[in-house]
Chains A and B, each alone.
Chain A
Amino acid sequence: MLIFSVFKTLTDQTVSVELKNDLSITGTLKSVDQFLNIRLDNIKVQDEARHPHMMAVKNCFIRGSVVRYVQLPAEHVDTQLLEDATRRETAVQKR
């Protein structure tokens, strides 16, 4: 649930999503849900010539299960806070 919370704090930021089919999309994170499905607005596809089907697409929904990784804007992620939160969560689970 922690990662979901992180993504929620990043809405309206620019992120890059790489899919397992090697498609890489940059766009504004509009929303995310508990499956880490992602909605991106104003998308830009890397190497568009290799993915001509994306030329007319402006906004898209990406199913969480096909995401390889997401590049986040580092200045908007507080890793220290995240580390503390992770420790707290594991402490709660152990109890």
Chain B
Amino acid sequence: MDSLIPFTTSGSLVDCVDRKMLVVLRDGRKLQGVLRSYDQFANLVLEDTVERIYHQDVFAEAWRGLFLIRGENVVLLGEIDLDQEDEVPLRQVEWTVLEPYHKQDVANKKKREDVKSQVLYEQKGFCKEGGEGDGY
């Protein structure tokens, strides 16, 4: 199996296995968990995963568990620096407190994107976005 992914970046994810990683998905979700496995498509297995939401300088966490993420949905995989993690100037609050703010943020962003693509289509001669319309 090793010979299938020689000297490639996805191959070099080997040093990230068993580390705490941040995964950003195409729908904007941020997951933090321990990377247990991966392959050449960046399909990922994350264990002990929590989902995090952010609003300005506060964040909240919710327990999610074990994930197998299909590679096409992955935007970015970041290694969390455990020393730096404690220095981050963010405040944690209860999920239920932050969730309405986060939902509002997401709704605002979607509205903005919708208006943008409408203008691009009607006035600027761009084609309608293919597929899922999430900008990817």
Chain A interface (Cβ < 8 Å from any Cβ of B): 19-21, 23, 30-35, 37-39, 43, 52-63, 65-66
Contact = CB atoms under 8 A, between A and B. Distances in A.
B13 interface: yes
Contacts of A57: 22, 78-81
A89 B13 CA distance: 32
Contacts of B59: 52-53
Given A56-B84, A63-B71, 19 more contacts: A30-B12, A35-B10, A37-B42, A38-B9, A39-B12, A52-B57, A53-B30, A53-B52, A54-B22, A55-B84, A55-B90, A57-B78, A58-B78, A59-B78, A59-B79, A61-B9, A61-B16, A61-B76, A63-B77
A26 B85 CA distance: 20
Chain B contact patch, size range: 35 or more
A20 B9 contact: no
B32 to A, nearest CB: 9
Contacts of B90: 52, 55
